[in-house]
Amino acid sequence: MKSFLLWSLLCVVALIGAGCSGGTSVSPQSEEGLPSGLRSLLDEALANFNQYYGNIGTALSYSYLGTIRDVAQKQEVIAEITDPLMARVPKITFEDTLFSGNIVSLQNETISQTELNEWRNLVSSLIGVGMHLVRIYWRANGEDFSTLCVATAEDIVYDNILSNMVIVEGQEQKLRCLDYTIYWLWGGERGKIIAEVTASCDGVINCGRHCSASMTLGEARINCRTRVQGNCCVLEYSFAWATPLVQISVSTDEFTLRTSGLGSSGEGNGNCSDCCEQDFEEGPPTHVE
């Protein structure tokens, strides 16, 4: 394993010495043995990073290192990925579909030992013998660094940058108040947050709602409540999503959701309504969920 790490370090030195450009084109330094499906995922992920996050960093290239041979090498891979002195992670906050943040060094951030242990346990649970190893080279904040990406032939399993960044798409509609989708950088849906309200208008107004939130390799939550206002059902919602190193908490109002920590996260709130065409002059009974 020492030779594996030394070889990877030499790759970084060679890359820096070559004076890599900060453009969006990403080419593998070594393709021998790299499954074609994985190569396609890496190309898409790094191209999307440069397109969506090019203002905070640049994906330069990647090198294929082979597969994890045994349990001992697996443990060394986990140790490198989760080493606070080496790890670089994003610190990104989304508001709707717009983000702000940066890529930070873990050693410069405040993170509890409990959170570090939980992160190591998560990474350990994801990685297995026989999985592929890819060294990805980056530039951010005027510095060059690399991350160790673990993958199968068909999917990216974990990387400190790729797994903690997303592409989001959100829209509001009349009935479906919120339709928020979270995507992996390499394609495919990673999470979904939905909120919608319907008014039942048979003599009295009854308010029905559907609110749901889910996310792979992370957490998503939504709080919803409804009330009758005039001849309308009003739905209020608060949502939050987070990658593994981010925590979701509830504010003192016991409804609004907030996020904090490293990685990527998003939060928001809003309301919408669905109304009955007829007026209820005497004021119908309210039904609140």
Contact between residue 14 and residue 30 where contact means Cβ atoms under 8 Å apart: no
**33-66 pLDDT tens trace:** 899 999 999 999 999 999 999 999 999 999 999 9
Identify whether residues 152 and 12 lie together within a single domain.
yes
Instruction: Work out how many domains the chain is built from and give that number.
Output: 2
Among 145, 164, 183, the domain boundary falls at 164
Among 164, 184, 212, the domain boundary falls at 164
pLDDT score for 177: 85
Residue 243 within a domain: yes
Contact between residue 37 and residue 153 where contact means Cβ atoms under 8 Å apart: yes
Give the whole-angstrom CA distance, residue 12 versus residue 145.
8
Identify whether residues 185 and 109 lie together within a single domain.
no
Residue 28 within a domain: yes
Identify whether residues 143 and 237 lie together within a single domain.
no
Identify whether residues 30 and 156 lie together within a single domain.
yes
Identify the three-state secondary structure at position 12. Answer: helix
Residue 248 within a domain: yes
For 158, the domain range is: 2-88+103-164
Element (H, E) at 271: strand 263-275
Among 164, 183, 216, the domain boundary falls at 164
Put simply, whether the predicted model's pTM sits higher than 0.85 gets the answer no
Give the whole-angstrom CA distance, residue 282 versus residue 170.
39
Identify whether residues 15 and 149 lie together within a single domain.
yes
Contact between residue 91 and residue 262 where contact means Cβ atoms under 8 Å apart: yes
Identify whether residues 251 and 217 lie together within a single domain.
yes
HSE-up of residue 39 (Cα within 13 Å, Cβ side): 14
**84-123 pLDDT tens trace:** 999 999 999 998 788 999 999 999 988 889 999 999 999 9
